Structure 1
Amino acid sequence: MKKINLLILDDKEENIISLEALLADIDNINIISTTDPNEALKLCWKNDISIALVDVQMPEINGFEFVSLLKGNPKTSHIIAIMVTAISKEDKYLIKGLQSGAVDYLYKPLNPEITIAKVNAFIKQVLIQEEIFQKNTELEQSKLALIEANKEAEHARKSKEIFLANMSHEIRTPINGIMGIINMLKSSSLNAEQLDWVKRLSNASNSLLMIINDILDISKIDSGMMKIEYENFNLRDLVEDTANIFRMKAANKKLNFEVHLAEDLPKIVHFDSLRLQQILTNFISNSLKFTHEGKIDIKVDILSKNGDSNKIKFAVTDTGIGIKPESVDKIFREFEQGDDRITKKFGGTGLGLAIVKRLANLLKGEVDAQSNYGEGSTFSFIVEMKEVLEGSLAKKEEILQYTQVEKLNKLKVLIAEDNDLNSFMLAHMLRTWDCEVTIVKNGRLALDAIDKDNFEIILMDTHMPVLSGFEAITEIRNSMDPLLRKIPIITISASVMEHEQKAAFEVGADDVIGKPFNPIELYNKIVKAVSMSKK
């Protein structure tokens, strides 16, 4: 244990010798003594003195003045001062000592037991104070470390968000072109074999898009940006429609693929249909990947009812390879699969079921996996859903091909897009709608184009060289020409980050559409923006 420095100040050497002898048997102290108050002050400044026994009556500087000097200096103000005196025990002297900063008195002739007891008590006090100081120092260091860790975590989060935004843009842009060309091919004259090729290409591009969306969904959920949007929808239709997406793939693998819906299942429910479909899609896709023979069953049952609230269980059971008992818990963790050998053989990011787990938590439901290794697995999702009246369900809009919509009567459109495949695909669709199209590769060229010609709408990519879409929109909205300021602008962005879409509206865009986009959605946004500009 660390020794405590104790100072004895007395102008008489014999008193010092007497006190040193009295305190000699006390553990954990190192006695420093002097007869000179000025020397004592220097010792206090240079040494880590914790306790000082100070004689009251001394020439030049008395004990009261000495203690006042100690307490007046920040470097020595912590020292515990005990007055040692042979003068009267009157209250006025006691008060004077306490006012100078002393904490106690020892009266001559010294009582050995009292003296030792008091010094021991103050030694304990010093040790406790030092321990408190050490703990406070450690707490402060922990606080600073925590603040620094939070800064690093925030920096890492922002870096991750920027990376994901850039990755999303760089990958979604070519995917948008690919999926656009696929839509063009679907609307062209193809023989049966060519149509099969296009469908396979479409499935591949959708799979790639699903992987990107999985990565972004994990990021959104972790950052608290994932939104749950409730709506009324037909539950039976959603389950059947989701299953139909996979029927062809199941048939190609010669699997028996069936859907079993409980008879008392509510027809219309109020829930997040997109997230429910995402959960079912992950379950079915997972079963299809690991099942080579046998069957896949989708089963939806009512577990309990309470008024209009229904506790519903969605289960997907397969006869696939199954999961080892020790690996079941791992499969709901991100970037994890039940067995590393599975990843090598079957591929996959290990994100699908991790997203399902997080979505289930957001939806206040629970997921579970039961498996017999080598025989198959059952993945289930249990959640409360509210049943609603059928009359509250919005009617489904008829799904049209982009070639089936009304023409736009020579609408003059400017496309600002630096990706050749995307601009080619956009121009083809617009010309199919009877639009007159001009294409430029950056925001600066877009500004030059609107100075030379009159356009009725601009489709503006957000990320372009020389001048970005945001910068170009800002200049257009700040133009001196009132006609230019009113040109409808739709930004086409490969970013799915909400803040970037919000930024587009803030700089003056009339609407935003993300890549890859549905051609019909783009058509509707163009019609809306142009009609609003004419009011």
Structure 2
Amino acid sequence: MSKNAGFFNFSIRNIISEDQSILIQARIRLLYFGFFIVFAAVAGLFFSVYLQHLRLLTATSGFTLLGVVVLFKYLTYKPQWRQISHILLFIATFINLSNVFVVIQKVDIITIQMILLVVIFSYYMLGHGWGLFYSLLNIIPVMVFYVLDYNESYFIAFRPENIDQATIIISMFANFIIIVFIHSHFYTAFFKNIRQLEQTSQRQTILNSELELAIDKAEKSSQIKSEFLATMSHEIRTPLNAIVGMSNLMIMAHPRDDQKENLKVLKSSANNLQSIVNDVLDFNKIEAGKVIFEQVKFNLVDLLQNICGAQQRKAEDKGITFELKIDPILNDRVLLGDPTRLTQILLNLVSNAIKFTRQGNVYVKAFCNEDRDNKMSISFIVRDTGIGIDKNNLQFIFEPFTQESITNTRQYGGTGMGLAIVKRLLELQGAHIAVSSKIGEGSEFSFRMDFGKSSASIAEIGEKHPLLQNTEALNTLKVLIAEDNPVNVLLMKKLLSKWKILPVIAENGESVVAVYEKGSFDIILMDLQMPVMNGFDAAMAIRKLPNAEKAKVPIIALSATTLPDIEEQIFKAGMNDYVSKPFKPEELMEKVQNLVFSFAAHSSL
């Protein structure tokens, strides 16, 4: 209802609003203009029967005339068209049946017209259900009267009133006008509605076309974003690899104390830059749905101690008490899960707790909630006495690139990606992170995860490869390196020289295949982006060599590229493992030794 409608309103404009459908507007208009026609018709009948001194018909038409005026006023005050329609139909039914059974005591053309009016009006105004109800309410009693009258069984102690021909003509004429008006009005409304539907359909077609273009544009934009991030990652990681690598080499060369301090600052800054790049790329990979979770055996106690060991030193440097508490039931349990992603989650939470705590303590706890035959449910809690988070900002801290305030960003640094990554990683594993915090008192982050249980013992998963124990044997390894960047070539040579390994260098994929076919090598370290032939094609070419034994050589991909599906492409090309630049020397050498040892053991069978 329009806000302009009031008790003294008589305008239809004030009772129709744009938010009403065409059908509802048509029903209101039908009532509004129909009341004028009905008023004129009933007024004519009133004067006609009054002049004939037909008291009952005069009372009925007078009552109807008054009802029309009252309902019209009610419509212009509160356009409750449904209620008004019901009242009108009850009045029409009452008049029709009273005329048949009492006043006139016969079924004539006017009675049939009245029934037809009720049927049409009830269906148009109230729909199928009520239309059927009012139709039967009028038809069935009239048919009963017909049967009784036909059998001359109907009798009532009241003398019927006889109306003259003029009254009959007025009634018939008025009824025909109303019937034509109802049909004409709703035909116009339905035709207008159909045209509107056609226009809506056309607009919908245009909108669908625009939506398809927008979706296509968004998909292309997302693809471009991923490719841009991958390109930027490669361009940033390539020099970063040299910085981190050379820093590691210089630290391994036993520098003077003053040099060592400078190198630590350099390495720390490079690691911070690497962490920022990794956060952005990890989030990009998570959003693209390219995260694959491993199911490997691991010792949770060792994992927690390794994570918290390095963080504890950071806390102690700030004068913060650091406490790690592990449920004793976890000491002899070997779990199945993804230790790498769990490390990423906990490391983000613990490092944040230390970063935002000036004094007091950081507390990390892991305890078993449920221990079943093949599954264990474990809760993790990271609590601090840091600056805290305002309750109004709790809903925003898990959004990407967001920190609680600009002041915190400037004071504590960071990209604001850590908690977003934590939340997404947990959600992808069916877990939920909870947070409670008070300004100036600290924060607590907690989550619960389910892990599979392995029958292996702690001792079994802690065993090291024999080759890993003996670095003296490394100098016998024959390593072929595919690398086109001169700085990275120099870095790899210096790094491998620490283990007395003299590698052979190939500047592109085509050279790698040619050199490998002519020589004998234990392992290939393959860069992915190279001129002439890339690392993927080179690896596939090697796997297709006629010599089946040579075709099985271990290949480790080395690349600064971090496209969301990079690992899938690497393994699809036939490579055995992947190390992302910049890499830790010990990580690379461990993978090299593991693969060489496994290949040697397999070949000897």
Provide the TM-score with structure 1 as the length reference.
Answer: 0.68
Alignment of 1:294 with 2:360, yes or no, is yes
Alignment of 1:347 with 2:413, yes or no, is yes
Letter in 2 for 1:149: A
Alignment of 1:147 with 2:212, yes or no, is yes
SS of 2:414's partner is coil
C-alpha change, 1:271 and 1:461, in structure 2 (3 Å) is: closer
Once residues 249 and 348 of structure 2 are traced to their aligned partners in structure 1, the CA distance between those partners, rounded to angstroms, is: 29
- 1:129 pairs with one of 162, 187, 194: 194
Once residues 572 and 367 of structure 2 are traced to their aligned partners in structure 1, the CA distance between those partners, rounded to angstroms, is: 47
C-alpha change, 1:523 and 1:197, in structure 2 (3 Å) is: farther
What CA deviation, in whole Å up to 9, does each residue of 1:490-525 have, x standing for no partner? 442222336444445555656544323423123444
SS of 1:245's partner is helix
Alignment of 1:324 with 2:390, yes or no, is yes
The CA deviation at 1:160 is 1.6
SS of 1:321's partner is coil
What CA deviation, in whole Å up to 9, does each residue of 1:357-407 have, x standing for no partner? 112212222212222212222222233445554538742244999996244
Once residues 467 and 588 of structure 2 are traced to their aligned partners in structure 1, the CA distance between those partners, rounded to angstroms, is: 8
Once residues 435 and 194 of structure 1 are traced to their aligned partners in structure 2, the CA distance between those partners, rounded to angstroms, is: 27
Alignment of 1:218 with 2:288, yes or no, is no
Once residues 389 and 370 of structure 2 are traced to their aligned partners in structure 1, the CA distance between those partners, rounded to angstroms, is: 30
Unaligned runs of 5+ in 1: 2-24, 26-110
Paired residue for 1:240?
Answer: 305
Paired residue for 2:379?
Answer: 313
C-alpha change, 1:509 and 1:317, in structure 2 (3 Å) is: closer
Letter in 2 for 1:138: R
The CA deviation at 1:355 is 0.9
Paired residue for 2:43?
Answer: none
Once residues 310 and 467 of structure 1 are traced to their aligned partners in structure 2, the CA distance between those partners, rounded to angstroms, is: 48
Once residues 359 and 331 of structure 1 are traced to their aligned partners in structure 2, the CA distance between those partners, rounded to angstroms, is: 15
What CA deviation, in whole Å up to 9, does each residue of 1:396-432 have, x standing for no partner? 2449999962445665544332323321121123344
* Paired residues for 1:7-18 under 5 Å: none
C-alpha change, 1:173 and 1:397, in structure 2 (3 Å) is: farther
- 2:457 pairs with one of 391, 396, 401: 391
Kindly indicate whether the alpha-carbon contact (under 8 Å) linking 1:423 and 1:439 is maintained by their aligned counterparts in 2.
yes
Paired residue for 1:252?
Answer: 317
Once residues 400 and 196 of structure 1 are traced to their aligned partners in structure 2, the CA distance between those partners, rounded to angstroms, is: 35
Kindly indicate whether the alpha-carbon contact (under 8 Å) linking 2:290 and 2:565 is maintained by their aligned counterparts in 1.
no
C-alpha change, 1:325 and 1:473, in structure 2 (3 Å) is: closer
SS of 2:400's partner is coil
* Paired residues for 1:90-105 under 5 Å: none
The CA deviation at 1:176 is 2.8
Paired residue for 2:441?
Answer: 375
Once residues 337 and 258 of structure 1 are traced to their aligned partners in structure 2, the CA distance between those partners, rounded to angstroms, is: 26
Kindly indicate whether the alpha-carbon contact (under 8 Å) linking 2:481 and 2:504 is maintained by their aligned counterparts in 1.
yes
Alignment of 1:335 with 2:420, yes or no, is no
What CA deviation, in whole Å up to 9, does each residue of 1:146-166 have, x standing for no partner? 222221221122112111211
C-alpha change, 1:527 and 1:257, in structure 2 (3 Å) is: same
Paired residue for 1:429?
Answer: 495
* Paired residues for 1:407-422 under 5 Å: 407=473, 413-422=479-488
Provide the TM-score with structure 2 as the length reference.
Answer: 0.61
Once residues 163 and 461 of structure 1 are traced to their aligned partners in structure 2, the CA distance between those partners, rounded to angstroms, is: 19
- Give the helix-richer structure, 1 or 2: 2
Once residues 154 and 132 of structure 1 are traced to their aligned partners in structure 2, the CA distance between those partners, rounded to angstroms, is: 31
Once residues 388 and 467 of structure 1 are traced to their aligned partners in structure 2, the CA distance between those partners, rounded to angstroms, is: 43
Larger Rg: 2
Kindly indicate whether the alpha-carbon contact (under 8 Å) linking 1:267 and 1:387 is maintained by their aligned counterparts in 2.
no
C-alpha change, 1:204 and 1:388, in structure 2 (3 Å) is: same
Unaligned runs of 5+ in 2: 1-17, 19-36, 38-175
C-alpha change, 1:297 and 1:144, in structure 2 (3 Å) is: same
C-alpha change, 1:473 and 1:276, in structure 2 (3 Å) is: closer
Alignment of 1:522 with 2:587, yes or no, is no
Alignment of 1:496 with 2:562, yes or no, is yes
Kindly indicate whether the alpha-carbon contact (under 8 Å) linking 2:244 and 2:582 is maintained by their aligned counterparts in 1.
yes
Kindly indicate whether the alpha-carbon contact (under 8 Å) linking 2:465 and 2:594 is maintained by their aligned counterparts in 1.
no
- Give the strand-richer structure, 1 or 2: 1
SS of 2:461's partner is coil
The root-mean-square deviation of aligned C-alpha atoms, in Å, is: 3.8
Letter in 1 for 2:319: K
SS of 1:322's partner is coil
Kindly indicate whether the alpha-carbon contact (under 8 Å) linking 1:409 and 1:435 is maintained by their aligned counterparts in 2.
yes
Once residues 497 and 505 of structure 2 are traced to their aligned partners in structure 1, the CA distance between those partners, rounded to angstroms, is: 12
Letter in 2 for 1:162: E
Letter in 1 for 2:408: I
Paired residue for 2:241?
Answer: 176
Once residues 530 and 399 of structure 1 are traced to their aligned partners in structure 2, the CA distance between those partners, rounded to angstroms, is: 12
Letter in 2 for 1:293: Q
- 1:275 pairs with one of 330, 341, 350: 341
Once residues 437 and 575 of structure 2 are traced to their aligned partners in structure 1, the CA distance between those partners, rounded to angstroms, is: 51
Kindly indicate whether the alpha-carbon contact (under 8 Å) linking 1:332 and 1:357 is maintained by their aligned counterparts in 2.
yes
Kindly indicate whether the alpha-carbon contact (under 8 Å) linking 1:487 and 1:533 is maintained by their aligned counterparts in 2.
no
Paired residue for 1:39?
Answer: none
Kindly indicate whether the alpha-carbon contact (under 8 Å) linking 1:455 and 1:487 is maintained by their aligned counterparts in 2.
no
What CA deviation, in whole Å up to 9, does each residue of 1:442-478 have, x standing for no partner? 4466578679x64536533221345544455567778
C-alpha change, 1:247 and 1:401, in structure 2 (3 Å) is: farther
C-alpha change, 1:180 and 1:400, in structure 2 (3 Å) is: farther
Letter in 2 for 1:342: N
C-alpha change, 1:385 and 1:500, in structure 2 (3 Å) is: closer
